[in-house]
């Protein structure tokens, strides 16, 4: 985003920060010691990292000598425009005593060597990435796991960070085949690729341009008309390791996909786009992106991966995801219509081009109808207002103590803004930070704004998402509205009404523990479930069974 940098540099002197007396936290604490070295963009420097974490519900003290982790790391700055922010973000790799990379488990996350310390400078809620990755994971895809922490660098408090898994190939990350230098022909050549649509970031990147022009709209609000050239980057194998035959294979495969989708017979049931792409991942990726209204969505940090074919050719399709970098999503951005709940990401904006395949796929009635049905299914679960609001509230409660320190350190983040938000989401004026769609004067106000934004965005999608979902079978009805549960959220009782006889009711906790298993005698279609009175507050899965099996499932919030 070269058009931002001059503006960023002019603004950087306006930001200020203060020292904070930091001694303990309810969050894990990460301390970094660089022995006088400055952390640069490249290369990584050697530093020491300690993690202080005494377990769930226990206090963590800076003075604690019993450590969750202590070891050597290689650390560098990461990001592009974010490097101009006062609160820096870092990429690091865990190492052994002699400097070799070492797979390590951090804060309960699976062993790996590559990690990110994400700085939520331009996300006052501090949880947009956390929420976005969680939703992708709940859609049954791998999404980066996260942990909220507080960071001290060389004795100086740096605020709240999000310890995040990086996107890479691996058994505990993106599970696709390992591509070796010798894999240059046959089935071995067909899979193990991770690709990314983005702007070129460095001279070390290897890229190619799509042969299909991308979609842009607007007049180029950052100076001039934006290019329609979509750029693909090789992410795995790394540019230094990928072989020419591998480069050429995945380039041709992607070109085939993009060109085919623009052809007259793109939705042919045998030789159309479904022969080449994973339909479920593309549906979920588009839903996730449109729900988030990510200003960078589909055109920046947009990942895809391709598995290896098997002998009968049943695998090896291109998959969309994982999702990444949602700090400018969920109403948090004043460009690309990021503050307008009625906007569409797939229709493009004034910065980088959106691949044309997304709009074209929506012209296929089957794709649009599948999209609508999948969205309706998700709206009964992880995209319900109750689930989203509960998730946001839970993190806000967890961060309530640390956020006060964070904004005492970064004092310019919570202020009444002087700019205008450009309309679209009334009542939230814009601010003087280049990315701000609005400004707030308290963390509580930010959380309230985020929840209200979600309600408005989901209501818009309910009424305007393309496609028609025709519910005909009992199995399809079970996903949606064939039984009612009131009230939701609930206090101490639930009233359940179904279209058929209820045989049994089960209630599961958010971690899958069976809490209630109640058989129902007689011919009841309406019953009162008072057993929830003893349940702890939280999100539960309620499953109703009838004569022919499962009637349906709903998420229930118990207060």
The three-class DSSP label of residue 452 is helix
Q: Would 425 be classed as within a structural domain?
A: no
Q: Would 79 be classed as within a structural domain?
A: yes
pLDDT of residue 222: 53
Per-residue confidence band for 425, with pLDDT thresholds at 50, 70 and 90: very low
| pLDDT for residue 109 is more than 50 | yes
320-368 pLDDT per residue, tens? 999 999 999 999 999 999 989 999 999 999 889 999 999 999 999 999 9
Report CA 217 to chain centroid distance, whole Å: 25
**What is the strand order of the sheet 514-519 is part of?**
514-519, 504-508, 538-546, 549-558
Listed residue (332, 390, 331, 321) closest to 144, CA to CA: 321
pLDDT of residue 492: 82
Q: Kindly give, in sequence order, each residue whose CB lies less than 8 Å from that of residue 58, ignoring residues fewer than 6 positions away.
A: none
pLDDT of residue 471: 55
State the CATH number of the domain containing residue 523: 2.60.40.3080
- CA-to-CA distance for 466 and 454, rounded, in angstroms? 19
Q: Quick one: CA torsion of 317, 320, 324, 327, rounded to 10 degrees? A: 170
- CA-to-CA distance for 199 and 230, rounded, in angstroms? 8
Q: Would 241 be classed as within a structural domain?
A: no
pLDDT of residue 242: 98
**Average pLDDT of the chain to the nearest whole number:** 88
pLDDT of residue 473: 44
Q: Would 39 be classed as within a structural domain?
A: yes
Q: Kindly give, in sequence order, each residue whose CB lies less than 8 Å from that of residue 187, ignoring residues fewer than 6 positions away.
A: 308, 309, 310, 311
Q: Would 124 be classed as within a structural domain?
A: yes
Do 64 and 52 form a contact (C-beta atoms < 8 A)?
yes
pLDDT of residue 378: 92
Listed residue (465, 123, 76) closest to 326, CA to CA: 123
| pLDDT for residue 176 is more than 80 | yes
Angle between helices 279-292 and 128-138 (to 10 degrees): 150
pLDDT of residue 511: 56
Helices (H) and strands (E) in the chain, counts: 9, 21
* 386: phi then psi, degrees, rounded to nearest 5: -65, -45
Q: Would 396 be classed as within a structural domain?
A: no
pLDDT of residue 307: 93
Task: Provide the whole-model pTM.
Answer: 0.82
Count of all residues that appear for the chain in the document:
559
* 407: phi then psi, degrees, rounded to nearest 5: -85, -15
pLDDT of residue 545: 87
Q: How many domains does the chain have?
A: 2
Q: Would 125 be classed as within a structural domain?
A: yes
**What is the strand order of the sheet 526-529 is part of?**
483-486, 494-498, 526-529
Where is pLDDT greater, at 232 or 80?
Answer: 232
**Single residue among 165, 194, 216 that ends a domain in this structure:** 165
pLDDT of residue 224: 62
Q: What is the arithmetic mean of pLDDT over 230-250?
A: 97
Per-residue confidence band for 490, with pLDDT thresholds at 50, 70 and 90: confident
Listed residue (147, 129, 73) closest to 104, CA to CA: 73
Listed residue (315, 331, 320, 220) closest to 275, CA to CA: 315
Instruction: Dihedral sign for Cα 289, 292, 298, 300, please.
Output: negative
Q: Say if residue 480 is preceded by a cis peptide, omega within 30 of 0.
A: no
**Single residue among 165, 192, 222 that ends a domain in this structure:** 165
**Single residue among 130, 165, 200 that ends a domain in this structure:** 165
- CA-to-CA distance for 409 and 16, rounded, in angstroms? 8
The three-class DSSP label of residue 365 is helix
pLDDT of residue 17: 46
Structure tokens given for 31 = 């301390």
Do 438 and 422 form a contact (C-beta atoms < 8 A)?
no
Instruction: Dihedral sign for Cα 360, 254, 295, 450, please.
Output: positive
* 495: phi then psi, degrees, rounded to nearest 5: -110, 125
Of 30-39, 476-485, 545-554, which range is least confident? 476-485
Q: Say if residue 489 is preceded by a cis peptide, omega within 30 of 0.
A: yes
Q: What is the arithmetic mean of pLDDT over 427-441?
A: 66
Q: Which domain holds residue 60?
A: 2-165
Structure tokens given for 464 = 């305007």
Q: Would 443 be classed as within a structural domain?
A: no
- CA-to-CA distance for 38 and 77, rounded, in angstroms? 10
437-484 pLDDT per residue, tens? 888 999 999 999 999 999 999 999 999 999 988 654 444 444 445 678
Per-residue confidence band for 410, with pLDDT thresholds at 50, 70 and 90: very high
The DSSP code sequence of 471-509 is --SHHHHTTTTSEEEESSSBSS-EEEEESS---EEEEE-
- In the DSSP assignment, the letter for residue 423 is S
| CB-neighbour burial class of residue 240 (10 A; exposed 0-12, middle 13-18, buried 19+) | exposed
Q: Kindly give, in sequence order, each residue whose CB lies less than 8 Å from that of residue 430, ignoring residues fewer than 6 positions away.
A: 334, 339, 417, 419, 420, 421, 422, 436, 437, 438, 439
pLDDT of residue 512: 64
């Amino acid at each position: 985003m070269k058009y931002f940098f001059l503006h960023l540099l002019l603004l950087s002197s306006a930001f200020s920060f203060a020292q904070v007396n930091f001694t303990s936290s309810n969050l894990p604490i990460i301390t970094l010691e660089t022995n006088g070295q400055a952390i640069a963009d490249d290369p990584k420097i050697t530093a020491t990292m300690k993690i202080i974490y005494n377990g769930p519900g226990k206090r963590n003290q800076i003075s604690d000598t019993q450590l969750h982790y202590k070891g050597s790391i290689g650390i560098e700055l990461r990001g592009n425009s974010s490097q101009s922010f006062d609160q820096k973000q870092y990429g690091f790799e865990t190492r052994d005593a002699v400097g070799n990379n070492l797979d390590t488990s951090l804060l309960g996350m699976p062993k790996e060597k590559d990690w990110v310390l994400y700085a939520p400078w331009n996300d006052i809620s501090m949880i947009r990435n956390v929420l976005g990755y969680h939703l992708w994971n709940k859609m049954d895809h791998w999404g980066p796991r996260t942990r909220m922490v507080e960071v001290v660098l060389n004795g100086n408090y740096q605020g709240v960070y999000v310890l995040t898994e990086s996107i890479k190939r691996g058994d505990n990350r993106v599970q696709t085949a390992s591509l070796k230098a010798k894999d240059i022909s046959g089935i071995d050549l067909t899979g193990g690729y991770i690709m990314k649509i983005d702007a070129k970031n460095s001279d070390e990147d290897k890229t190619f341009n799509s042969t299909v022009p991308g979609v842009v709209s607007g007049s180029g609000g950052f100076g001039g008309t934006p290019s329609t050239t979509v750029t693909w980057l090789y992410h795995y194998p790394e540019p230094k390791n990928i072989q020419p035959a591998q480069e050429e294979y995945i380039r041709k495969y992607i070109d085939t996909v993009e060109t085919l989708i623009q052809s007259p017979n793109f939705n042919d049931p045998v030789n159309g786009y479904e022969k080449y792409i994973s339909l479920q991942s593309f549906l979920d990726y588009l839903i996730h992106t449109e729900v988030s209204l990510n200003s960078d969505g589909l055109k920046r940090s947009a990942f895809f991966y391709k598995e290896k074919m098997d002998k009968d050719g049943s695998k090896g399709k291109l998959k969309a995801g994982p999702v990444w970098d949602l700090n400018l999503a969920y109403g948090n951005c004043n460009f690309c219509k990021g503050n307008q709940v009625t906007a569409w990401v797939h229709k493009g904006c004034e910065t980088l081009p959106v691949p044309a395949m997304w709009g074209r796929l929506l012209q296929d009635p089957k794709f649009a109808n599948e999209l609508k049905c999948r969205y309706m299914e998700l709206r009964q679960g992880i995209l319900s207002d109750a689930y989203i609001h509960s998730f946001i509230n839970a993190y806000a409660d967890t961060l309530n103590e640390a956020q006060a320190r964070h904004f005492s350190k970064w004092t310019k983040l919570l202020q009444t803004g002087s700019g205008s938000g450009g309309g679209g989401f009334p009542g939230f004026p814009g601010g003087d930070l280049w990315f701000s769609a609005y400004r707030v004067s308290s963390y509580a106000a930010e959380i309230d704004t985020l929840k209200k934004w979600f309600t408005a965005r989901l209501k818009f999608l309910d009424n305007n998402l393309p496609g028609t979902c025709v519910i005909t079978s009992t199995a399809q009805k079970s996903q949606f509205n064939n039984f009612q549960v009131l009230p939701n959220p609930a206090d101490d009782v639930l009233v359940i009404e179904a279209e058929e006889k209820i045989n049994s009711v089960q209630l599961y906790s958010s971690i899958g523990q069976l809490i209630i298993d109640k058989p129902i005698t007689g011919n009841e279609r309406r019953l009162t479930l008072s057993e929830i009175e003893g349940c702890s507050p939280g999100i539960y899965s309620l499953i109703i069974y009838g004569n022919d099996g499962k009637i349906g499932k709903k998420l229930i919030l118990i207060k």
